[in-house]
Structure 1
Amino acid sequence: MEHRLQQLSKYAVMTLFSFISLYPIFLMIMSSFKTKKEITTSPLGLPHSFSFVNFIEVWNKVHFDEYFINSVFVSGVSVIIILIISSMAAFYLARYTFRWNGAVLFFFMLGLMLPMKLAISPLYMQLMKLNLLDSLIGLIIVYIAGHISFAVFLFFGFFGTLPKDLDQSARIDGCNDFQVYYKIVLPLMRPAMATVAITDLIHVWNDFFYPLVFIKSTEKGTIPLGMLNLFGEYDTEWNLLFSGLTLSSLPMIIAFLIASRQFIEGLTAGAVKS
């Protein structure tokens, strides 16, 4: 009986936290179908009708398709390059010992200790000298530099848990160093890859600060920057804003559902010893 009560209490707490986490998403989706009047008079109620008028209007009014393509390009390229560079760097640091091994690892860790936003002024000046202001390529470089430290830190820990006997066996079979990394070690790191990919993808996709500072042209803006157009000086079109937020959150929800199993394995790896 006591064990059953403990299980019920655990499920009750989990249900409560799930409701707290999911209710804002539910409220956002429901508000995207409401009119502006309904949001004002009944903000927590259900919409009177489920119409896609708001989605069509926000898609045409703020050129959502351009912002969506820019966000996909910036987020996709940034995450792919982060995964490639950080996994190779972490593999080398974890598998090879040299004189400056600890110093190089500490250099990457500095990126976790010192937030890049503190250096926004010199970063702005550097991009201006390189003619990368108001450029999606410049924005991608900033995201790679800002997120690669976390990826190296996570990959370094995962590579350290893999036995080096795998490397030696692969070399006996004729693999060179890159083949050991690409064919043997990297496939075992899918949970870590999914963890880094989802975490960085969410940060880059939802970031508003860097596009606001470095992007000036409307046609080069990302979704968070495009949503700013819906905030007026005296009035805000909340129905269109919630519709835009719903559209922008769908790719992240789909990406998480696809990689959720690997993501959870990556977060819990090492928690249980066999």
Structure 2
Amino acid sequence: MMRNKRLFTAASWYAGMSILFFLFIFPFLLILLNSFKSRVEIIRNPLTLPKTFDFSNYTDAFTRMNFSYGLYNSAIITCVSVLAILVFSSMLAYYLVRWSNKMSSIILLMLVSSMIIPFQALMIPFVSLYGNLHMLNSKWALIFFYLGFGISLATFMYHGFIKTVPKDLEEAALMDGAGRIQVFYQIVLPILKPISTTIAIIDVLWIWNDFLLPSLVLLSKEQQTLPLSTYYFFGKYTSNYGVAMAALVMAIIPVIVFYLIMQKQVIKGVVEGAVK
């Protein structure tokens, strides 16, 4: 009786996980299948397999969306933004933890409170203010904005992790003649690798796939990221669905590859964070 109950529980669990997996993977499979179809075939049979796997949509999308420029812009913006967020938020969190006082508590409270404000509430004053300062249409301005919007969550996550780091290691290094900067970069920062990896992947997924903020900042085609380039195929009166689907697949693949490479680090970071 107990064995049958266990088998039923295991079967129910696997069935439930299979259904959830299908629900999560279905949108991507739909995009992938339709990327090999013509526009007419997509409209007639969007849920069926393509009659012939035609790769012309990919070559057309690569040329028309200027894929190489979009990939370069997305890579530069994502890498520099994430690196800046990791460096500045880890240093800020370290300061707030090790020099704990009333002011540091107020700063942390302000950072946490800023996460409650939705970006949509800031869009109009954001564009108006920085437009008057001539800070739009620049990758470096966008990186600066990502640093401002991303540092709150990253600092909050680092803050909880750094509190678990023992002070004995730092005190021993200080007694050996190391400075505070050396202690942070050579002792504390390597210990923060699990949480740093988790924050990096969260921010890479956010920045790489972001459409709204780049659409407000990057005005010229030469500065556009991949999500902005894919919007080129959706016109006011018509949409080239097949080429658009191919462009979406090409824009998604780099971040999927990055996640597959880093997934072990994500699991390790979550587990170590839970243990701590």
Mapping for residues 170-209 of structure 1, pairs under 5 Å: 170-209=173-212
Task: Answer whether contact 1:62 1:229 (CA < 8 A) is retained.
Answer: yes
Give the distance between the partners of 1:222 and 1:246, measured in 2 at CA.
15
Aligned position for 1:267: 270
3-state secondary structure, aligned to 2:163: helix
Give the distance between the partners of 2:46 and 2:131, measured in 1 at CA.
44
What amino acid sits opposite 1:9 in the alignment? Answer: S
Task: Answer whether contact 1:127 1:138 (CA < 8 A) is retained.
Answer: no
Give the distance between the partners of 1:270 and 1:69, measured in 2 at CA.
34
Aligned position for 1:134: 137
What 5-or-longer segments of structure 2 have no aligned partner? none
* 1:253 correspondence with 2:253: no
> Equivalent of 1:98, from 93, 96, 101?
101
* 1:19 correspondence with 2:22: yes
Give the distance between the partners of 1:160 and 1:25, measured in 2 at CA.
40
* 1:4 correspondence with 2:7: yes
Give the distance between the partners of 1:75 and 1:205, measured in 2 at CA.
6
Task: Answer whether contact 1:158 1:192 (CA < 8 A) is retained.
Answer: yes
What amino acid sits opposite 1:267 in the alignment? Answer: V
Give the distance between the partners of 2:178 and 2:17, measured in 1 at CA.
48
Listed one character per residue, the Cα deviations across residues 92-131 of structure 1 (whole Å, up to 9, x for unaligned) are 1122223411011112112212223312233223322432
Give the distance between the partners of 1:191 and 1:166, measured in 2 at CA.
18
Aligned position for 2:39: 36
Pair 169,35 (structure 1): closer, same or farther in 2 beyond 3 Å:
same
Give the distance between the partners of 2:265 and 2:200, measured in 1 at CA.
11
Listed one character per residue, the Cα deviations across residues 151-187 of structure 1 (whole Å, up to 9, x for unaligned) are 1011111111222222223323433212221111211
Mapping for residues 21-170 of structure 1, pairs under 5 Å: 21-170=24-173
**Which shows bigger deviation, 83-92 or 220-229?**
220-229
Alpha-carbon offset, residue 192 of structure 1:
1.0
What amino acid sits opposite 1:61 in the alignment? Answer: R
Give the distance between the partners of 2:273 and 2:63, measured in 1 at CA.
48
Pair 101,48 (structure 1): closer, same or farther in 2 beyond 3 Å:
same
Identical-pair percentage: 34
Give the distance between the partners of 1:71 and 1:131, measured in 2 at CA.
22
Give the distance between the partners of 1:183 and 1:35, measured in 2 at CA.
56
> Equivalent of 1:238, from 237, 241, 244?
241
Give the distance between the partners of 1:267 and 1:213, measured in 2 at CA.
34
TM-score by length of 1: 0.93
Aligned position for 1:226: 229
RMSD of aligned Cα (Å): 1.8
3-state secondary structure, aligned to 1:113: coil
Give the distance between the partners of 1:173 and 1:11, measured in 2 at CA.
55
Give the distance between the partners of 1:117 and 1:220, measured in 2 at CA.
23
3-state secondary structure, aligned to 2:229: helix
Alpha-carbon offset, residue 272 of structure 1:
4.1
Task: Answer whether contact 1:67 1:221 (CA < 8 A) is retained.
Answer: yes
